[in-house]
Structure 1
Amino acid sequence: MTVAIPVAIKALSCANHELVRSTSSYLSLAAIHNGKLLAQYAIQIISNIINGNYSLVRVLPQVYPENREPFHAHLSPLFRLLSLSALDTSEKLSLLQLASMVANYKPDLIIPHLLEFEEFLKSSTTCTAVLHIYLSLISKGRVEALINQLLPIKRALRKNAPSQNNLTTMAKVIGHIGKTGSDMACLAIPDLIELCNKSNTQNLPVLLKEIESVAEAFPQSVQHHLEIIKEFSEKQGTNYSVYKRIRALSMIQAL
């Protein structure tokens, strides 16, 4: 590989489109176990991608951990590719995975690009990847940067039928947003209740726990929703204790 990869990188610049295509496929496979070696050519790879060799996008998640700075300098042109119909779903997923990785390392570089990811909440194939970006930002203490994402999440929830795994992830994101302030808590609780409506019985305890966590921070946010929270908790006897805690929190606030 130490001999083959440099030759392959040079071949990317040739005029033979078929050779470029096959070389790009080779590098995509080579990246699985040779990310460190490919990382030496990060600039060349990024340049080729920006200039139209979109199939190379698939190597980015393997190369980024080994040589981050070239990516940080080219995030804007890379993420602009997300809007191109020429990229297939797997290539767009690679870019979204890259965004999540950057968010884990330098979250402030990703925040300006959040608007570019919103569209992908609407697709069942890309929604999970966007939610992982949000979780990365949350883990790095950038919850307030996600406040403007509450509405796109709500739109995605109403437009599609998210998977049960995505429902619980949405609940975690919405719960964290709800704890940023009393106004956001009052917006988050109805969204969490809507998630409960779409949840199966297995995930319902997780969603009720998120409602409880918001209620702990801002008890007034649940005062007008106790009846429906009670209905959800009664569907599964083990959830009733959560409802009682939520009700107790709202009563404390009233006092």
Structure 2
Amino acid sequence: MHELLKHVLTERDLTRAGDIFAIPDCDIVNDINEVLKQITEISSHSDYICNDRDQALIEICITRVTSCIKETGTLEKYCSALVALLESCLHHNLMPVGHLRDDDPPHAKIASDVISCIVLVSFPLQSDKETGNTAEVMELFLPVAVQFLHKGNREISRHMARYLSLAALHHAVLLKPHVQTIMDSIMSGNYPLCRILTNLYEVCPEPLEGHVTALVALLPHAEPVEKSSLFGLFEQIAARRPEALKTAVPQLLSYLCSNTAPQNVPGCMCIDLLQVIASVSGSKPRLVVEQTSVIKRAARPPHATAKSTALIATILARLGNTSQERAQEALNFVVERLHGAEWSEQAALIREATALCSAYPALFTDRLLAALRANNSNRPKSSHGEINRTSGGITIVKLGGQNSSNDVVTMRPVTGPAPVMAGASVVTSPPHSCSPRGVHSSR
């Protein structure tokens, strides 16, 4: 070991501790294992927590060692010794006596420095990408790191949420054995950990599916980024195993129109929530059918937006696939909201009406045609011919000048005749027949 470094540690000479920063990295890089071993021995001594000089000495030595590891890129070589030091901290009190870092117990300070060294070298925050082969480092580090979530130090837990997010992004499989520890930490108030759940779900879905109800209950308390992560998880569950959301659907929908919704589930979150319900209704509509009245209530002011109304129409249309009665109910919703809706919203509503009429041709009635005519005549006219094709089999054709009424709305069901409205005339055409330009004409 370098003579100065050896002197400082053996004699515990705080007066010369600062001089070790003048030693080149190349002169001490091979001493790091021995240095970390001595640091662990000194910090584990019974009088360390009340020995200010030793604490100051160790802080200086740890700063010098971690700096050398970062500069020389030797994390993999010395990770075992760092983790051993980190693990020794778990045997001591880590709970702060105040709100500042200076109020942290000495072993909490050691743990914070070692954890940040390991993670920030592995995953530089500027790019959120791993450097080198970090799998072996994470295999050693993560089993010890997750234990700090329950040591009562909120600052360490808060940083750990960020660090585990980076680890989960690259090595989620290594966190599989620790899902319950992570969930316990989330339920105890460490909500930033919600950000790793979507990555965890990809490698161990079943344990998280068992916590759906508890996670839904966190939504009013979570920050926007945490809410977004939770909704992302719910969408994953809806795609893989929607039955796991059975008890959560009413709970989710209760946030849509509650008195606390504007504060706790803002507009963008309502969209995320409705997208989850739309995913469930697409694969397992029976899980949602009993909630139709709640869903429709969310389409009323002050909750409704153009996007949320379109999503609600999608949900109701999917529920309409379960019976003609529900299809009629969904179509009624669409017709009621066509009047006065923005054109982008109208296109989405007409798309759902087309899907419903495709499934149940008997729903294509005079009332629907009247609503289509009314909206067709109320749309702004273009001075030039224009074709607007929307998804869902709808073709809007604008012909003639500003005062022309020759707009054409084409609804093409998947099966059966395609009803067409052109100006004041309505015709039907075979499902696969069309003019050379793909536009049905009443002339």
1:228 and 1:105 map into 2 onto residues whose CA distance is 39
Which secondary structure state, in structure 2, belongs to the residue aligned with residue 241 of structure 1? strand
2:236 and 2:353 map into 1 onto residues whose CA distance is 29
Shift of 1:27: 1.8
Shift of 1:116: 0.9
Whether contact under 8 Å (2:282, 2:318) holds in the other structure is no
1:55 and 1:38 map into 2 onto residues whose CA distance is 16
The alignment status of 1:90 with 2:225, answered yes or no, reads yes
1:12 and 1:227 map into 2 onto residues whose CA distance is 63
2:410 is aligned, of 238, 241, 247, to 241
1:199 and 1:47 map into 2 onto residues whose CA distance is 46
List gaps (5 residues or longer) in structure 1.
250-255
Query: Of Structure 1 and Structure 2, which has the larger fraction of its residues in helix?
Result: 1
Shift of 1:114: 0.4
2:164 and 2:336 map into 1 onto residues whose CA distance is 45
Cα distance 1:40–1:195, how it changes in 2: closer, same or farther (>3 A)?
Answer: farther
1:79 and 1:201 map into 2 onto residues whose CA distance is 34
The alignment status of 1:226 with 2:369, answered yes or no, reads yes
Between the two proteins, the alignment pairs up a number of residues equal to 246
Using structure 2 for the length normalisation, give the TM-score. Answer: 0.50
The alignment status of 1:67 with 2:204, answered yes or no, reads yes
- Percent identity between matched residues is 24
Using structure 1 for the length normalisation, give the TM-score. Answer: 0.82
Which is higher, the Rg of structure 1 or of structure 2? Answer: 2
1:153 and 1:126 map into 2 onto residues whose CA distance is 15
1:170 maps to a residue whose letter is I
1:16 and 1:225 map into 2 onto residues whose CA distance is 63
Q: Which residue of 2 aligns with 1:103?
A: 238
2:360 maps to a residue whose letter is F
Cα distance 1:66–1:23, how it changes in 2: closer, same or farther (>3 A)?
Answer: same
1:147 is aligned, of 286, 289, 303, to 289
Cα distance 1:36–1:197, how it changes in 2: closer, same or farther (>3 A)?
Answer: farther
Cα distance 1:161–1:196, how it changes in 2: closer, same or farther (>3 A)?
Answer: farther
1:165 and 1:47 map into 2 onto residues whose CA distance is 36
List gaps (5 residues or longer) in structure 2.
1-137, 258-265, 382-395, 398-407, 412-417, 429-443
Q: Which residue of 2 aligns with 1:214?
A: 356
Which secondary structure state, in structure 1, belongs to the residue aligned with residue 169 of structure 2? coil
Which secondary structure state, in structure 2, belongs to the residue aligned with residue 15 of structure 1? coil
2:161 and 2:305 map into 1 onto residues whose CA distance is 33
Shift of 1:33: 2.9
Cα distance 1:4–1:240, how it changes in 2: closer, same or farther (>3 A)?
Answer: same
1:49 maps to a residue whose letter is I
2:277 and 2:420 map into 1 onto residues whose CA distance is 28
Whether contact under 8 Å (1:174, 1:192) holds in the other structure is no
Shift of 1:232: 1.8
1:217 and 1:100 map into 2 onto residues whose CA distance is 26
Moved more, 34-43 or 7-16: 34-43
Shift of 1:200: 3.1
The alignment status of 1:117 with 2:287, answered yes or no, reads no
Whether contact under 8 Å (1:212, 1:245) holds in the other structure is no
2:362 and 2:372 map into 1 onto residues whose CA distance is 14
1:10 is aligned, of 118, 140, 147, to 147
Which secondary structure state, in structure 1, belongs to the residue aligned with residue 217 of structure 2? helix
Q: Which residue of 2 aligns with 1:184?
A: 326
2:208 and 2:244 map into 1 onto residues whose CA distance is 11
Q: Which residue of 2 aligns with 1:78?
A: 215
Cα distance 1:120–1:90, how it changes in 2: closer, same or farther (>3 A)?
Answer: farther
Shift of 1:220: 4.4
Shift of 1:226: 2.6
When the two chains are superposed, the root-mean-square deviation of aligned CA atoms in Å is 2.8
1:202 and 1:105 map into 2 onto residues whose CA distance is 31
Moved more, 55-64 or 226-235: 226-235
After superposition, what is the alpha-carbon deviation per residue over 1:116-143, rounded to whole angstroms, capped at 9, x for unaligned? Answer: 1113445412122222223322443x12
Shift of 1:101: 1.1
The alignment status of 1:133 with 2:276, answered yes or no, reads yes
The alignment status of 1:175 with 2:317, answered yes or no, reads yes
Whether contact under 8 Å (2:142, 2:175) holds in the other structure is yes
Shift of 1:222: 4.7
Q: Which residue of 1 aligns with 2:191?
A: 54
2:269 maps to a residue whose letter is T
Whether contact under 8 Å (1:189, 1:222) holds in the other structure is no
Moved more, 236-245 or 57-66: 236-245
Whether contact under 8 Å (2:148, 2:157) holds in the other structure is yes
Which secondary structure state, in structure 2, belongs to the residue aligned with residue 2 of structure 1? helix
